[in-house]
Amino acid sequence: MFSLRKIGRGLVLPHKKIERYIDIFYKKISAKSDEPILDFGSGTLFWSEKFAEKYQKKVFSVDTLYEKKKPTLKTEKISLFDNIGKMPEDARFSMIFTCDVLHHIKPEIRKEILDRFIQTSKLIVIKDIEAEDFCGNLQNKIHDFVINGEKVYDIYSKDLRLYFKEAGFKVRIFQMKKLGYPHFLLVAYK
Protein backbone atom coordinates (compact mmCIF):
# COMPACT_ATOMS: atom_id res chain seq x y z
CA MET A 1 0.00 0.00 0.00
CA PHE A 2 2.75 2.46 0.95
CA SER A 3 4.56 2.18 -2.41
CA LEU A 4 1.34 2.62 -4.44
CA ARG A 5 0.59 5.81 -2.47
CA LYS A 6 4.13 7.05 -3.17
CA ILE A 7 3.64 6.54 -6.91
CA GLY A 8 0.27 8.31 -6.88
CA ARG A 9 1.65 11.17 -4.81
CA GLY A 10 4.44 11.67 -7.34
CA LEU A 11 1.87 12.07 -10.13
CA VAL A 12 -0.33 14.73 -8.51
CA LEU A 13 2.12 16.52 -6.24
CA PRO A 14 4.40 19.28 -7.57
CA HIS A 15 7.18 17.96 -5.33
CA LYS A 16 10.12 19.43 -7.26
CA LYS A 17 8.75 22.96 -6.82
CA ILE A 18 8.00 22.28 -3.18
CA GLU A 19 11.56 21.02 -2.62
CA ARG A 20 13.03 24.15 -4.21
CA TYR A 21 10.98 26.48 -2.00
CA ILE A 22 11.79 24.49 1.14
CA ASP A 23 15.51 24.56 0.30
CA ILE A 24 15.52 28.34 -0.03
CA PHE A 25 13.84 28.95 3.31
CA TYR A 26 15.48 26.09 5.21
CA LYS A 27 18.98 27.23 4.28
CA LYS A 28 18.13 30.82 5.17
CA ILE A 29 16.42 30.14 8.51
CA SER A 30 17.16 26.70 9.95
CA ALA A 31 20.26 25.13 8.38
CA LYS A 32 22.50 25.87 11.38
CA SER A 33 20.02 24.49 13.92
CA ASP A 34 20.70 21.14 15.60
CA GLU A 35 17.00 20.68 16.23
CA PRO A 36 15.14 17.88 14.42
CA ILE A 37 12.55 18.32 11.69
CA LEU A 38 8.90 17.44 12.34
CA ASP A 39 7.03 15.82 9.45
CA PHE A 40 3.43 15.93 10.65
CA GLY A 41 1.21 13.49 8.76
CA SER A 42 4.23 11.76 7.28
CA GLY A 43 2.37 8.74 5.86
CA THR A 44 4.65 6.90 3.44
CA LEU A 45 7.73 8.82 4.69
CA PHE A 46 8.13 10.42 1.24
CA TRP A 47 9.20 13.75 2.76
CA SER A 48 10.79 12.38 5.94
CA GLU A 49 13.28 10.35 3.91
CA LYS A 50 14.10 13.36 1.71
CA PHE A 51 14.66 15.61 4.73
CA ALA A 52 16.79 13.07 6.62
CA GLU A 53 19.04 12.56 3.61
CA LYS A 54 19.21 16.12 2.31
CA TYR A 55 19.61 17.98 5.61
CA GLN A 56 21.27 15.19 7.62
CA LYS A 57 18.92 15.84 10.52
CA LYS A 58 16.83 13.70 12.81
CA VAL A 59 13.22 13.65 11.60
CA PHE A 60 10.23 13.06 13.87
CA SER A 61 7.60 11.48 11.61
CA VAL A 62 4.06 11.58 12.99
CA ASP A 63 1.07 9.79 11.48
CA THR A 64 -1.90 7.91 12.91
CA LEU A 65 -1.29 5.24 10.23
CA TYR A 66 1.57 3.95 12.37
CA GLU A 67 -0.91 2.72 15.01
CA LYS A 68 -1.82 -0.10 12.61
CA LYS A 69 1.36 -0.60 10.59
CA LYS A 70 4.79 0.93 10.85
CA PRO A 71 6.68 1.35 7.58
CA THR A 72 10.18 -0.02 7.15
CA LEU A 73 12.74 2.67 7.90
CA LYS A 74 15.62 3.28 5.50
CA THR A 75 17.56 5.37 7.99
CA GLU A 76 18.07 5.65 11.74
CA LYS A 77 17.54 9.41 11.41
CA ILE A 78 13.75 8.89 11.37
CA SER A 79 11.71 8.34 14.55
CA LEU A 80 8.09 7.26 14.16
CA PHE A 81 5.22 8.47 16.34
CA ASP A 82 1.55 7.54 15.89
CA ASN A 83 0.40 10.58 17.88
CA ILE A 84 1.88 14.06 18.30
CA GLY A 85 1.21 13.73 22.05
CA LYS A 86 3.74 10.88 22.29
CA MET A 87 6.68 13.08 21.29
CA PRO A 88 8.85 14.71 23.95
CA GLU A 89 6.89 17.69 25.34
CA ASP A 90 9.90 19.99 25.23
CA ALA A 91 10.76 19.16 21.60
CA ARG A 92 11.65 22.11 19.36
CA PHE A 93 12.11 21.83 15.62
CA SER A 94 14.29 23.41 12.95
CA MET A 95 11.30 23.03 10.63
CA ILE A 96 7.74 21.74 10.86
CA PHE A 97 6.36 20.36 7.60
CA THR A 98 2.91 19.05 6.79
CA CYS A 99 1.67 17.95 3.38
CA ASP A 100 -2.01 17.42 2.55
CA VAL A 101 -2.91 16.77 6.18
CA LEU A 102 -4.62 19.81 7.64
CA HIS A 103 -7.67 19.54 5.38
CA HIS A 104 -8.42 16.20 7.08
CA ILE A 105 -8.46 17.69 10.59
CA LYS A 106 -11.50 19.31 12.18
CA PRO A 107 -10.97 23.10 12.36
CA GLU A 108 -11.03 23.25 16.17
CA ILE A 109 -8.39 20.50 16.46
CA ARG A 110 -6.42 22.07 13.59
CA LYS A 111 -6.22 25.29 15.63
CA GLU A 112 -4.73 23.39 18.61
CA ILE A 113 -2.13 21.80 16.34
CA LEU A 114 -1.18 25.13 14.74
CA ASP A 115 -0.90 26.69 18.21
CA ARG A 116 1.61 23.97 19.12
CA PHE A 117 3.50 24.50 15.86
CA ILE A 118 4.05 28.23 16.46
CA GLN A 119 5.42 27.51 19.93
CA THR A 120 7.99 24.99 18.74
CA SER A 121 9.51 26.24 15.46
CA LYS A 122 10.65 29.35 13.60
CA LEU A 123 9.95 27.71 10.22
CA ILE A 124 6.60 26.12 9.39
CA VAL A 125 5.85 24.80 5.92
CA ILE A 126 2.32 23.76 5.01
CA LYS A 127 1.37 22.20 1.67
CA ASP A 128 -2.36 21.73 1.26
CA ILE A 129 -5.33 22.09 -1.09
CA GLU A 130 -6.76 25.60 -1.59
CA ALA A 131 -10.50 25.68 -0.73
CA GLU A 132 -10.78 29.05 -2.52
CA ASP A 133 -10.64 27.08 -5.80
CA PHE A 134 -14.12 25.53 -5.67
CA CYS A 135 -13.76 23.04 -8.54
CA GLY A 136 -10.26 21.88 -7.62
CA ASN A 137 -11.21 21.58 -3.95
CA LEU A 138 -14.31 19.56 -4.90
CA GLN A 139 -12.14 17.30 -7.07
CA ASN A 140 -9.88 16.68 -4.06
CA LYS A 141 -12.84 16.05 -1.73
CA ILE A 142 -14.24 13.44 -4.11
CA HIS A 143 -10.80 11.85 -4.54
CA ASP A 144 -10.15 11.67 -0.79
CA PHE A 145 -13.61 10.29 -0.01
CA VAL A 146 -13.84 7.74 -2.84
CA ILE A 147 -10.25 6.45 -2.76
CA ASN A 148 -9.42 6.80 0.93
CA GLY A 149 -12.82 7.15 2.64
CA GLU A 150 -11.55 10.35 4.29
CA LYS A 151 -13.54 13.40 5.34
CA VAL A 152 -12.23 16.74 4.07
CA TYR A 153 -12.59 20.16 5.68
CA ASP A 154 -12.03 23.39 3.78
CA ILE A 155 -8.71 25.14 4.33
CA TYR A 156 -7.91 28.61 3.02
CA SER A 157 -4.37 29.88 2.62
CA LYS A 158 -5.55 33.43 3.37
CA ASP A 159 -6.84 32.32 6.80
CA LEU A 160 -3.55 30.61 7.57
CA ARG A 161 -1.65 33.71 6.44
CA LEU A 162 -3.63 35.84 8.88
CA TYR A 163 -3.16 33.33 11.72
CA PHE A 164 0.63 33.21 11.31
CA LYS A 165 0.99 36.97 10.82
CA GLU A 166 -0.93 37.59 14.04
CA ALA A 167 1.53 35.19 15.74
CA GLY A 168 4.47 37.32 14.55
CA PHE A 169 5.58 35.27 11.55
CA LYS A 170 6.41 36.48 8.06
CA VAL A 171 4.41 34.53 5.50
CA ARG A 172 4.89 33.57 1.85
CA ILE A 173 2.29 31.63 -0.14
CA PHE A 174 2.97 29.88 -3.44
CA GLN A 175 0.09 28.60 -5.58
CA MET A 176 0.86 25.48 -7.67
CA LYS A 177 -1.80 23.74 -9.74
CA LYS A 178 -1.14 20.20 -11.01
CA LEU A 179 -3.69 17.88 -12.68
CA GLY A 180 -6.45 20.24 -11.57
CA TYR A 181 -5.50 20.09 -7.90
CA PRO A 182 -5.11 23.61 -6.43
CA HIS A 183 -2.02 23.08 -4.26
CA PHE A 184 -0.65 25.86 -2.11
CA LEU A 185 2.57 26.02 -0.16
CA LEU A 186 2.62 28.32 2.83
CA VAL A 187 5.94 29.18 4.44
CA ALA A 188 5.76 30.93 7.83
CA TYR A 189 9.07 32.03 9.34
CA LYS A 190 10.67 34.27 11.95
pTM: 0.90
- Position 62 scores a pLDDT of 95
Give residue 83's region: left, alpha or beta (phi > 0; psi -120 to 50). beta
- What's the burial of 15, exposed, middle or buried (CB within 10 Å: 0-12/13-18/19+)? middle
- Pairing assessment for the beta strands 37-40 and 123-129 based on DSSP bridges: unpaired
Highest-scoring range by mean pLDDT, 2-6, 20-24, 44-48, 166-170: 166-170
Residue range 69-83: mean pLDDT, rounded: 92
CA separation for the pair 55, 163 (Å, rounded) = 28
Kindly report the average pLDDT of the chain as a whole number: 89
- Position 48 scores a pLDDT of 96
- Position 10 scores a pLDDT of 64
Q: Write out pLDDT tens, residues 136-145.
A: 778 877 877 8
DSSP string, 132-155: TSHHHHHHHHHHHHHHH-------
CA separation for the pair 40, 101 (Å, rounded) = 8
Q: Which domains does the chain have, with CATH numbers?
A: 2-83+90-189 (3.40.50.150)
Residue 178: strand pairing partners: 181
Residue 3 has pLDDT above 70, yes or no: no
Q: Write out pLDDT tens, residues 167-183.
A: 999 999 999 877 678 98
- What's the burial of 121, exposed, middle or buried (CB within 10 Å: 0-12/13-18/19+)? buried
Q: Residue 1: which pLDDT band, with cuts at 50, 70 and 90?
A: very low
CA separation for the pair 47, 77 (Å, rounded) = 13
Q: Are the C-beta atoms of 164 and 145 separated by less than 8 Å?
A: no
Q: Write out pLDDT tens, residues 83-124.
A: 888 888 889 999 999 999 999 999 999 999 999 999 999 999
- Position 6 scores a pLDDT of 59
